[in-house]
């Protein structure tokens, strides 16, 4: 099920260049602003806007995939904490922001939205490297959720 005016359903967002991996019910993309290194967006494949619109089995699978991404990012970036956010204020289609907060974080006590910064856009080489490392981590985890 897709929505004719939804940028996620229509493939307008996120950029295909940022795709990390296709999981069972979601696709994971690197966030286009990498000021917080490893910030990843986990996008539900079908159109839905609230957790409670999903069947319990879908909700379970979705959260297994979000948890899998979080664990992998935590290990790769040696995160002190992971932030998990499902907002949808601008784009209601379910997408999870999964944000590793590192030891080098400039404002570790604050939500990322409160941290003023210039957008960090990695070079093509840096993107390929970062996406590749996260993909490898997700693919090779022994506790990867079944599809």
Beta bridge partners of 82: 100
* Crossing angle (nearest 10°) for helices 124-140 and 56-76: 120
Q: Which of 78, 111, 121, 126 binds a second copy (CB under 8 A)?
A: 111
- Please name the helix (run of DSSP H) or strand (run of DSSP E) that holds residue 86, with its range, or none: strand 81-86
Nearest Cα neighbor of 55 from 103, 98, 1, 14 is 1
Q: Which stretch binds a second copy (CB under 8 A): 13-21, 37-45, 107-115, 120-128?
A: 107-115
Give the nearer residue to a second copy in terms of CB position, either 84 or 127: 84
56 near a second copy, judged by CB under 8 A: yes
Least distance in angstroms from the C-beta of 97 to a second copy: 9
Nearest approach in angstroms of CB 126 to a second copy is 26
Please report whether residue 65 would count as binding a second copy according to CB under 8 A: no
What's the angle, vertex CA 108, arms to CA 19 and CA 123, rounded to 5?
35
């Amino acid at each position: 099920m897709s929505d004719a005016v939804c940028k996620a359903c229509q493939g307008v967002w996120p950029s295909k260049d940022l795709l990390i991996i296709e999981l069972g019910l979601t696709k994971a993309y690197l966030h286009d602003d990498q000021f917080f290194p490893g910030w990843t967006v986990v996008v539900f494949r079908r159109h839905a806007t609230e957790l409670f619109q999903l069947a319990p089995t879908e909700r379970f699978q979705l959260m297994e995939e979000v948890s899998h991404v979080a664990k992998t990012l935590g290990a790769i970036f040696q995160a002190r904490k992971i932030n998990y956010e499902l907002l949808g204020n601008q784009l209601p289609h379910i997408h999870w922001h999964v944000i590793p907060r590192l030891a080098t974080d400039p404002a570790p006590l604050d939500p990322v939205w409160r941290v003023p910064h210039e957008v960090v856009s990695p070079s093509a080489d840096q993107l390929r490297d970062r996406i590749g490392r996260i993909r490898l981590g997700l693919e090779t985890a022994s506790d990867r959720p079944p599809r």
